[in-house]
A and B are shown apart, each in its own frame.
Chain A
Amino acid sequence: MLFKLSLKNIKKSIKDYTIYFFTLILAVAIFYIFNAMETQTVMLEVSNSTKDIIKLMNTMLSGVSVFVSFILGFLIIYASQFLMKRRKKEFGIYMTLGMSKGKISRILLLETILIGTVSLVIGLVIGTILSQGMSIVVANMFEADMTKFSFVFSTKALGKTILYFCIMYFCVMIFNTISVSKCKLIDLITANKKSETIKMKNPILCTIVFILSVVMLGYAYYNVTVLNTTLTSNQLLTDIVLGVIGTFFLFWSLSGFVLKLVMKRKKLYHKNLNMFILRQVNSKINTTVFSMTTISLMLFLTICILSSALSLKNSMTNNLKELTPVDILLSKKANLTSSDQYYGIPYTEEQIADSKTPITDTLELLDFDWKNNLTDMINVNIYATNDITMKDTFGTEYGAIKKEYPMLLYDSAEPIVKVSEYNKVAKQYGNPTYELKEDEYMIIADFDSMVQIRNRVLKKGTTLTLNGKTYQPKYPECKPGFIEISANHINTGIILIPDQTLPEEMKEETYLIANYTGKTEDEKEEIEAQLASEEVSAFEDKTTLSASTKISIYEASIGLGAIVTFIGIYLGIIFLISSAAILALKELSESSDNKERYMMLRRLGVDEKMIRKTLFIQIAIFFLFPLIVAIIHSIFGIMFASTILETFGNEKLLSSIIMTAIFLIFIYGGYFIITYLCSRSMISEKE
């Protein structure tokens, strides 16, 4: 009997449940897709290092899934509580007929189970289908072979999805039971007759608050875009707080402000149902300032996350070409003594002995045929002395810099390279070369924030003293360049000095820069495989030799790009669903009031066509309002991110923005259309 009642209830209120259903199905499908990626990536044929990265990605994705499940849990509970509110009168009737609260709770329980099961099944089916497409994206991302396509179904993801959603539904049941047990009969029966009080805001106050919010936002925008490079983290925090408060004030005041503005324009105000639309939107936004702010900020986050994540991968690969001009860079500690330590562990006898020999000797020891496999070899010696630490290079500026950046390692010795050795490297890399007079030094760096600090010091003409000789800076700023190959600009500073004989103890490290002799990718990979073989790893405690290679840097950065992209898309979509669903529910929550209002309009003789148009405009404004604010925020947010990360190419950014727009249109637009259709059928004359 109860089961029948539940079933009938759902059938009857299918309109109310559409948004709820839609959200659940989407949530289940997305949760499944991102958790099924593990199974898909296992099947890919990729190198070992990529496998490690994929493993890391999957661990991170499942970590993010926990966070996502919390967001979805809150969303589902929120949605179910909203539906509960709409059905208060129905419960009131049950209770007047003598049904106990326990029984009502049981009806709700059955309903939750029913809806939960159906949405899980549909969501999983959709998820399975879509995840096939996802596997193509994954393979593409990791540049793996996708010659043989196979249907992948992840039982692990299935189990996980069912478990997580069952926990969420269980929470919904608890919340439903609590809210039923707290109900009073009188409230249930009079639930529909809420007294309507419209909070009217003082128009002058509205205008003042509006101007204030625009000023606040403008100031924050200015800070993050124009002043971005000199921004400290405290200022940035202030800007974020300003942005949040500014957004809140904007929503608090804008509708009142716009209303006043339109009322001044008599023709517009008196046209068709404009005044009705205005008042509807005004009253709606006035009562949902807080949610509108949250939704708008969530959309802002979504847009920034999606567009940044999508373009990050592309731009990361772009940097690589410039920053890895050679195939391999081998490095080894030089002149180790028994008192030297590596993170507290003393070096072994063999390592100390090995540190006194050139890198090529070590390679022979490793049984690596460097004569045949390596070409274009360049040796670089890195010197360091405790006479020249970072503190020393800052000279008189040290005190001021330390106050601003207390975390820098001021006591670490700075790397010193002879200019002629650097020039050899620079030539090979295609970077500019330099000449230094006998008493001159210069600094090569490309890590932005460090460059700024060093430029301050160099402008002052800070001198360095090495072996009793004083050196003047040749240039008032750092020059770009690097020795170590990497995925990003991370050279914090190398001091170049004129060629001279430096004491052997000062030698800290030796580098061997080379290309592989192999012509094709496969040949190169084969050479690299010899270096990365197990026999070589067995030598770990006999030498301090380490290598960074073009291939491994490429793989790592592609992998990192993929991780950022997938997590970005995952979170972005979840945020998007959450904000759109809350917005849709807010709109539908007033549908019973709206029904009366539109009925009234019909009695006044308004066309059905005009009623539909009015409803459409009303809902469109309600949906567009937070979106437009979010888009404006995002323009500045993305500008800020792009200058901070310095990795975006404009062309790539455009394509990622287009992708973001597609996501937005599909999900946000989907919610909008469903909301409109639901509202339309709710206000239609037929019961």
Chain B
Amino acid sequence: MEPILKIEHVEKYYGNKLNLTKAVDGISFSVNKGEFVAIMGASGSGKTTLLNCISTIDKVTSGHIYVGGVDITKLKGNQLNRFRREELGFIFQDFNLLDTLTAYENIALALTIQGVKANEIEARVHEFAKKLNVEQVLQKYPYQMSGGQKQRVASIRAMITNPKLVLADEPTGALDSKSAKMLLENFEYMNQSLEATILMVTHDAFTASYANRVIFIKDGKLFNELVKGNDSRKEFFDKIIDVVTILGGEVNDVI
């Protein structure tokens, strides 16, 4: 299958010559269409930096990132903006919904900036809201919604433009376990029924166990990779925990 995302020897250095930090140190992997991939690692392992590079929020020091065959490290200015709004969808830990807009408007905004027609926008927002069970909060403001509702609204916003790739940065980080479970089930649904390609960064094994494949990163380098295959989620979760243990406890750097 053709890879949607292909990462080749990506390096990201911070600092100057005297004090160099290699946040990402030569990572290569690829994500195929329709995959649900989780990147795991402790804090400081470079997973968020990698995600920022993919999302073009940050620039790589060297290496190439191809999304749908296009080398995004070569894009500039408005090409970047267009790439972001047409090919990518974002889900953040702190939801990042616009506080002055209602849920409906937050979702619709992703479409209006692409110039989609008014009727189509309305229909699509309602269709997605129904699927992800947030229809009843569409006219509410973010401060009137629960964390789980907010994150589901945020994920609809990320999905509604039919992006090639949905990037999620610690999506369950600010949620209680019940809301987190519900959100992850939504991710599964989006991945399986709506054929969304999802790349998720997390340090939580439970969250990662919902993915098809988990990539482990340590000190900016690829450490291990697990594929769910035909395992049940429980079995996959146990395998992840094993790797995490080798990696050094859940997220601590005792080793």
Interface size class of A (residues with CB under 8 A): 20 to 34
Within A590-623, the residues touching B (CB, 8 Å) are 593, 597, 600-610
Q: Which residues of B contact A593 (CB under 8 A)?
A: 99
Within A276-321, the residues touching B (CB, 8 Å) are 276, 279-280, 282-283
Chain A residue with the shortest CB-CB distance to B139: A200
Q: Which residues of B contact A273 (CB under 8 A)?
A: 109, 112-113
Closest Cβ–Cβ distance, residue B185 to chain A (whole Å): 25
Q: Which residues of A contact B115 (CB under 8 A)?
A: 272
A279 touches B100 (CB 8 A): yes
Q: Is the interface of B mostly helix, strand, loop or mixed?
A: helix
Closest Cβ–Cβ distance, residue A279 to chain B (whole Å): 4
Q: Which residues of B contact A267 (CB under 8 A)?
A: 118
Chain B residue with the shortest CB-CB distance to A607: B81
A270 on interface, CB distance cutoff 8 Å: yes
A522 on interface, CB distance cutoff 8 Å: no
A-B pairs with the 4 shortest C-beta distances?
Answer: A605-B85, A605-B84, A270-B118, A279-B100
B131 on interface, CB distance cutoff 8 Å: no
Separation of A158 and B115 alpha carbons in the complex (Å): 59
Separation of A593 and B135 alpha carbons in the complex (Å): 28
A195 on interface, CB distance cutoff 8 Å: yes
B81 touches A266 (CB 8 A): no
Against A, the Cβ 8 Å flags (1 = close, 0 = not) of B102-140 are 000100111111011111011000000000000000000
B90 on interface, CB distance cutoff 8 Å: yes
Q: Which residues of B contact A603 (CB under 8 A)?
A: 55, 57, 84, 90, 96
A275 touches B112 (CB 8 A): yes
A606 touches B96 (CB 8 A): no
A537 on interface, CB distance cutoff 8 Å: no
Separation of A275 and B57 alpha carbons in the complex (Å): 25
Closest Cβ–Cβ distance, residue A667 to chain B (whole Å): 30
A608 touches B81 (CB 8 A): yes
Closest Cβ–Cβ distance, residue B170 to chain A (whole Å): 15
A266 touches B119 (CB 8 A): yes
Q: Which residues of B contact A605 (CB under 8 A)?
A: 81-86, 88, 113
Can you give 10 A-B contacts (C-beta < 8 A)?
Answer: A270-B122, A275-B101, A279-B101, A593-B99, A601-B98, A603-B55, A604-B110, A605-B86, A607-B78, A610-B113
A175 on interface, CB distance cutoff 8 Å: no
Within A108-128, the residues touching B (CB, 8 Å) are none
Separation of A84 and B157 alpha carbons in the complex (Å): 38
B141 on interface, CB distance cutoff 8 Å: yes
Within A183-228, the residues touching B (CB, 8 Å) are 195-198, 200
A427 on interface, CB distance cutoff 8 Å: no
A463 on interface, CB distance cutoff 8 Å: no
Q: Is the interface of A mostly helix, strand, loop or mixed?
A: helix
Closest Cβ–Cβ distance, residue B161 to chain A (whole Å): 9
Q: Which residues of B contact A200 (CB under 8 A)?
A: 141
Chain A residue with the shortest CB-CB distance to B92: A603
Closest Cβ–Cβ distance, residue A499 to chain B (whole Å): 83
Chain B residue with the shortest CB-CB distance to A281: B100
Given contacts A604-B85, A606-B81, contact A270 B108 (CB under 8 A): yes
A274 on interface, CB distance cutoff 8 Å: yes
B143 on interface, CB distance cutoff 8 Å: yes
Contact of B98 among A266, A597, A608, A609 (CB under 8 A): A597
Chain B residue with the shortest CB-CB distance to A268: B118
Q: Which residues of B contact A601 (CB under 8 A)?
A: 98, 113
Q: Which residues of A contact B105 (CB under 8 A)?
A: 275-276, 279
Given contacts A200-B141, A266-B118, contact A604 B90 (CB under 8 A): yes
Given contacts A275-B105, A605-B85, contact A283 B100 (CB under 8 A): yes
A269 on interface, CB distance cutoff 8 Å: yes
Contact of A274 among B81, B96, B112, B117 (CB under 8 A): B112
A271 on interface, CB distance cutoff 8 Å: yes
Chain B residue with the shortest CB-CB distance to A279: B100
A266 touches B122 (CB 8 A): yes
Residue from the set A197, A283, A604, A610 with the largest chain B CB neighbour count within 10 Å = A604
Q: Which residues of B contact A283 (CB under 8 A)?
A: 100
Known pairs A606-B85, A608-B77. 16 more at Cβ < 8 A? A196-B142, A198-B143, A271-B112, A276-B101, A276-B105, A283-B100, A593-B99, A600-B98, A601-B113, A603-B55, A603-B84, A604-B113, A606-B81, A607-B78, A608-B81, A609-B78
Q: Which residues of A contact B109 (CB under 8 A)?
A: 273, 275-276, 604
Q: Which residues of B contact A609 (CB under 8 A)?
A: 78
Task: Tell me the B residues contacting A by CB distance below 8 Å.
Answer: 55, 57, 77-78, 81-86, 88, 90, 96, 98-101, 105, 108-113, 115-119, 121-122, 141-143, 157
Closest Cβ–Cβ distance, residue B124 to chain A (whole Å): 11
B143 touches A606 (CB 8 A): no
Closest Cβ–Cβ distance, residue A686 to chain B (whole Å): 14
Chain A residue with the shortest CB-CB distance to B97: A600
Q: Which residues of B contact A272 (CB under 8 A)?
A: 112-113, 115
B81 touches A198 (CB 8 A): no
A195 touches B143 (CB 8 A): yes
A597 touches B143 (CB 8 A): no
A198 touches B113 (CB 8 A): no
Chain B residue with the shortest CB-CB distance to A267: B118
Separation of A200 and B143 alpha carbons in the complex (Å): 12
Contact of B121 among A270, A279, A600, A606 (CB under 8 A): A270
Q: Which residues of B contact A269 (CB under 8 A)?
A: 118
Closest Cβ–Cβ distance, residue A456 to chain B (whole Å): 60
Q: Which residues of A contact B113 (CB under 8 A)?
A: 272-273, 601, 604-606, 610
B96 touches A600 (CB 8 A): yes
Separation of A272 and B115 alpha carbons in the complex (Å): 6
Given contacts A275-B105, A279-B105, A600-B98, contact A197 B118 (CB under 8 A): no
Q: Which residues of A contact B99 (CB under 8 A)?
A: 196, 198, 593, 597
Closest Cβ–Cβ distance, residue B96 to chain A (whole Å): 5
Closest Cβ–Cβ distance, residue B158 to chain A (whole Å): 9
Within A312-336, the residues touching B (CB, 8 Å) are none
Residue from the set A197, A276, A602, A605 with the largest chain B CB neighbour count within 10 Å = A605
Separation of A195 and B111 alpha carbons in the complex (Å): 28
Closest Cβ–Cβ distance, residue B237 to chain A (whole Å): 31
Chain A residue with the shortest CB-CB distance to B110: A604
Separation of A364 and B17 alpha carbons in the complex (Å): 106
Given contacts A604-B109, A604-B110, contact A198 B84 (CB under 8 A): no
Given contacts A605-B82, A605-B88, A607-B81, contact A597 B112 (CB under 8 A): no
Chain B residue with the shortest CB-CB distance to A263: B105
Separation of A606 and B83 alpha carbons in the complex (Å): 10
Chain B residue with the shortest CB-CB distance to A685: B57
Q: Which residues of A contact B111 (CB under 8 A)?
A: 270
Within A553-604, the residues touching B (CB, 8 Å) are 593, 597, 600-604
Q: Which residues of B contact A279 (CB under 8 A)?
A: 98, 100-101, 105
Separation of A608 and B55 alpha carbons in the complex (Å): 17
Q: Which residues of B contact A604 (CB under 8 A)?
A: 84-85, 90, 109-110, 113, 157
Separation of A276 and B112 alpha carbons in the complex (Å): 10
Separation of A266 and B110 alpha carbons in the complex (Å): 16
Separation of A267 and B121 alpha carbons in the complex (Å): 10
Closest Cβ–Cβ distance, residue A283 to chain B (whole Å): 5
Q: Which residues of B contact A602 (CB under 8 A)?
A: 81
Q: Which residues of A contact B101 (CB under 8 A)?
A: 275-276, 279
Separation of A656 and B10 alpha carbons in the complex (Å): 67
Q: Which residues of A contact B143 (CB under 8 A)?
A: 195-198
Q: Which residues of B contact A607 (CB under 8 A)?
A: 78, 81
Q: Which residues of A contact B96 (CB under 8 A)?
A: 600, 603
Q: Which residues of B contact A600 (CB under 8 A)?
A: 96, 98
Within A494-521, the residues touching B (CB, 8 Å) are none
Residue from the set A270, A276, A279, A608 with the largest chain B CB neighbour count within 10 Å = A270
Separation of A271 and B120 alpha carbons in the complex (Å): 12
Closest Cβ–Cβ distance, residue A210 to chain B (whole Å): 21
Q: Which residues of B contact A280 (CB under 8 A)?
A: 100
Q: Which residues of B contact A608 (CB under 8 A)?
A: 77-78, 81
Closest Cβ–Cβ distance, residue A406 to chain B (whole Å): 57
Closest Cβ–Cβ distance, residue B111 to chain A (whole Å): 8
